[in-house]
Amino acid sequence: MVLLGTLVNGIAILVGSLLGSFIRKIPESMKTTVMQSLGLAVIVLGIGMGLESEQFIIVIGSLVVGVVLGERWDLDDKLNRLGDWLENKLGAETNVDGNLSKAFVTTTLIYVVGAMSILGALDSGIREDHSVLYTKSILDGFSAIIFTSTLGIGVIFSSIPVFLYQGTIALFATQIIKVIPDALMESFIAEMTATGGIMIIAIGLNILGLTKIKVANLLPAILIVGILTSILYYWDSIILGFGQLF
């Protein structure tokens, strides 16, 4: 079943969120310390991802163009409005600290932006190997418990974009692999991981309360990574072809 890994990932977030919703009687000082620890861990994860780049100019260019598009489309505001809509439908009392949109947006970005999402979905679609997504499910499930206990039940709704995002990649993986050469795919994953890593660092800084970066407005950079990586790959192929002729 192609979508098994994605389904398990979504269920892990749901279960983790439900468990976290029962852990409410946590002292405020402990909540603060836990969130600071998570923020630091997320930053370290982002740094590790950011160092995966082999052509950092692609990362820089993708972020610049991506931010321009993200600001123009105002993705961060749209995500927050979706979270606010959910909060109004459910009632603020269902959330630990009355900020469902923050919980939804923060965890959606953390769970979606990363190499494991793409690599795991590709493995599920091409080889029906779900081991990467099973590993991600364990990580996401445990982190959902912590995030829900500190940010609120809004975390549970992040399972929806996770399922849609990874499921779409898994379903189209067979066609993608037929069209994209292995070398190009490897290059894309490396630069996508680095670009996503910078977004993860921004999320960590936001969790620590040091910044208020609109991380969702950076998301178009992932699309730009694919475009720039493809341009450079085929440009190098053309140059190499001319070199062999002469």
- For residue 93, what pLDDT band results from cuts at 50, 70 and 90? very low
Q: What is the largest CA-CA distance in the chain?
A: 74
- Domain positions in the chain: 4-245
Per-residue pLDDT averaged across 202-223, rounded?
A: 88
CA geometry: angle 144, 160, 91, nearest 5 deg? 75
Q: Which two tokens stand for residue 212?
A: 């208020």
148-175 pLDDT tens trace: 888 888 899 999 999 999 999 999 887 7
DSSP code for 223: H
Helical packing angle, 159-179 and 115-127, nearest 10° = 60
Mean pLDDT (the chain, rounded) = 85
Per-position DSSP letters for 28-93, written without gaps between them:
HHHHHHHHHHHHHHHHHHHHHHHTT-S-HHHHHHHHHHHHHHHHHHTHHHHHHHHHHHHHHHH-GG
Which pLDDT does position 96 carry in this prediction?
47
In angstroms, what is the C-alpha Rg of the chain? 19
Which pLDDT does position 36 carry in this prediction?
86
Per-position DSSP letters for 101-143, written without gaps between them:
HHHHHHHHHHHHSSHHHHHHHHHHHHH---HHHHHHHHHHHHH
The yes-or-no verdict on residue 92 having pLDDT over 70 is: no
The yes-or-no verdict on residue 245 having pLDDT over 70 is: no
DSSP code for 246: -
27-77 pLDDT tens trace: 778 778 877 888 898 888 889 889 989 999 999 999 999 999 999 998 888
118 or 51: which carries more pLDDT confidence? 51
Q: Tell me the torsion sign for CA atoms 160, 137, 109, 29.
A: positive
> Are the beta carbons of 194 and 53 closer than 8 angstroms?
yes
Q: Which two tokens stand for residue 218?
A: 């950076």
Per-residue pLDDT averaged across 125-146, rounded?
A: 88
CA geometry: angle 94, 166, 2, nearest 5 deg? 120
Per-residue pLDDT averaged across 179-208, rounded?
A: 87
Which pLDDT does position 63 carry in this prediction?
96
